[in-house]
Structure 1
Amino acid sequence: MKTAFIVLTYNRPDALLQVLKGLAVQCDSSHEVIIADDGSSQDIVKALVDVLPEFACQLRHVWHPDTGFTASRARNLAAAASTAEYLVFMDGDCIPNPGFVKAHARLLEPGFFVNGSRVLLSDALTQKIISNAVNLQSASFFDWIRWRLAGDVNKLIHLLPWPKALFRKEKKFRWKKIRSCNFGVWREDFLRVNGFDESFQGWGHEDADLVLRLHNSGVLRKNGFCATEVYHLWHKENSRSSESANRQRVFERMHTGLVRATVGIDDARLARDVTVTRLN
């Protein structure tokens, strides 16, 4: 079985490089990595190619023109380009923990999607990581304790791996802590609900909408705490001008039983403005 790690990015190659380094040391021939690029400038893309880590699996770059915040479309285009049976969606500023790939493999189960967890990092620690002064893949237990005491990380849950933890599964839709930056789903289930809904405008809650529709289709949530944590590099918040309208839209859909996206991966498969490049 093949698993695809789909990494969303936009004009932040320094952060993306750290994410790719974290995946490169964990992935093998049973995986593929796809960069879902939401319209980064071509100069940035070319510069990234020269410093990519070596992968034992196929690495591809899926790009479409910059028309604003269209993360759902970028993810759908990447998923449409994938040949994997299982998809793990990530953000290009979320570095996988050293056991991330194996943890997702242990937690995948028919009838469930995996909702991952994240650890927030400070601006100061982020700058050290970006400059290669700190390597999170080799950080010790005591490094993390020191960073927590200094306020550089918001929690230490990833230091307590518990892959067989109880109470992971949830039968009802719950809005809290839905993370499209760390989200595993069977390709078949993703296609059934027509992927992310591209009709959501701007930032916010397109991930909650996907989870709601998966639940409506009979796919249940399994939480990935103490197993699948990613380290979220600091950045200024994106504009949240659309957040309220998007939230209201999900609330309205909660009572409809909707399963399929209005504009989704079926449309992405027909796109003519997408560029797919093999990077290794």
Structure 2
Amino acid sequence: MNSISVIVTTYNWPAALKLCLEALYMQTDSNFEIIVADDGSTTANVAMNKSVCAQSPMPVKYVHQEDQGFRASTIRNKAVVQSAGEYLIFLDGDCVVRQNFISRHRKLAVRGCFVPGNRVLISQSFTENVINHSIALYKKNALDFFILSLQSKINRSLPFLTLPLGKLRLLAPKKWQKAMTCNLAMWRDDFLRVNGFDELFEGWGFEDSDLVIRLIHAGIKRKEGRFSVPVLHLWHSQNNRNNQDLNYQRLLKRLHQQDFIFAEKGLSQYLAH
């Protein structure tokens, strides 16, 4: 596998996106491109974002859509259309990765599988400190994170242990829970096969679970990424969750429709026929 596209979702938080992108710029494996998927940031924030993108040592594309509420599914689909990688890694713009993030994901990639990583939550006060002082979290090691957890600056340090789990990573091939697009990888062909994200999922909640469930229905198996590719998630207030119940009911219905694979309103609308 040669080409990787990292799809980074953002919305009106340039300070967080800067930290996210700077960590990607410092990867030990630099053979990838970045697609920034902007779900409606203001003109001023777009300008700040693009100034950081201009510093990138690897190719960057910027895809922006008008602000019509939380439409992460839509902007991610649009970003994938603009990408060139045969392997996709979805990452949120409020997450910071370590320097081996890409290389570890590349090693985990195997045909017929998607790979969800996990996340470590940063406290509100430490998030403010990281942003205000431009703390390079990507440089920290496992011992540093253990100390940060003792200080309650992060919620846990165990994910930073690197364990060679081997076949244990394949023990739950049909588990869809806790697979989130803040840290999720899959083959482009598999993403196309299920027609990407379903844009019927508007507002916060479960668009990532729906994608994973359809991948599983299509025969794509889960390969666990924990103890290999954690991300650090900056604190922020909760998103508006008015559509959460509606999205969850749609998700439950699809969970039991084993033949439901192709998103109703997905990637195909942007592809030439």
Report the TM range for the smaller structure's normalisation: over 0.9
Report what 2:264 is aligned to. 262
Q: CA RMSD in A?
A: 1.7
Cα deviation code 1:114-155 (max 9, x no counterpart):
011100000111112112352212224443233211211111
Report what 2:140 is aligned to. 139
User: Alpha carbons of 1:115 and 1:28: their partners in 2 closer, same or farther (altered >3 Å)?
Assistant: closer
In 2, Cα distance between the equivalents of 1:125 and 1:165? 34
Cα deviation code 1:33-56 (max 9, x no counterpart):
010011111111112333447333
TM-score, L = length of structure 2:
0.93
User: Alpha carbons of 1:131 and 1:208: their partners in 2 closer, same or farther (altered >3 Å)?
Assistant: same
Larger helix share, 1 or 2 = 2
What is the letter of the counterpart of residue 73 of structure 2? S
Highest RCO, 1 vs 2 (Cα 8 Å, sep ≥ 6): 1
**In percent, how many aligned pairs have the same letter?**
39
Trace 1:64-213 onto structure 2 (pairs within 5 A).
64-170=65-171, 172-213=173-214
In 1, Cα distance between the equivalents of 2:39 and 2:182? 14
Contact residue 103 and residue 163 of structure 1 kept, 8 A: no
Report what 2:238 is aligned to. 237
User: Alpha carbons of 1:140 and 1:217: their partners in 2 closer, same or farther (altered >3 Å)?
Assistant: closer
What is the letter of the counterpart of residue 195 of structure 1? G
User: Alpha carbons of 1:139 and 1:11: their partners in 2 closer, same or farther (altered >3 Å)?
Assistant: same
TM-score, L = length of structure 1:
0.91
In 2, Cα distance between the equivalents of 1:35 and 1:177? 23
Q: Which runs of 5 or more residues in structure 1 are unaligned?
A: 271-280
Q: Which runs of 5 or more residues in structure 2 are unaligned?
A: none
Aligned pair count reads: 270
In 1, Cα distance between the equivalents of 2:128 and 2:167? 36
Report what 1:42 is aligned to. 43
User: Alpha carbons of 1:198 and 1:137: their partners in 2 closer, same or farther (altered >3 Å)?
Assistant: same
